[in-house]
Amino acid sequence: MTWLNSMGWQTVMPPDTIPTAPPPNLLWVGLGVPLIIVIVGIVTVLWLRWRETSGGDR
């Protein structure tokens, strides 16, 4: 049974497809860039609102 299982795993996940998968760096960049854009946008909006309120108080 172990031989059948190993053969089944090889057919399901052949070693040739592992290198074609994107490396973790590309995956992090793909996830991080939109996240950074969203964070920068939120920070900018909050900073503009805080500047307006602080400027209005003066």
Q: Is 21 helix (H, G, I), strand (E, B) or coil?
A: coil
pLDDT, tens only, 2-55: 555 555 555 555 555 555 666 677 777 778 888 899 999 999 999 999 988 887
> What does the pLDDT read at residue 1?
46
Give the closest residue to 37 by CA, choosing from 45, 26, 25, 49: 45
> What does the pLDDT read at residue 17?
53
The dihedral built from the CA positions of residue 21, 23, 25 and 28, taken in this order, carries a sign that is: positive
- Sketch the domain layout of the chain as residue ranges: 22-58
d(CA 41, CA 58): 26
> What does the pLDDT read at residue 33?
86
What is this structure's pTM?
A: 0.43
> What does the pLDDT read at residue 7?
52
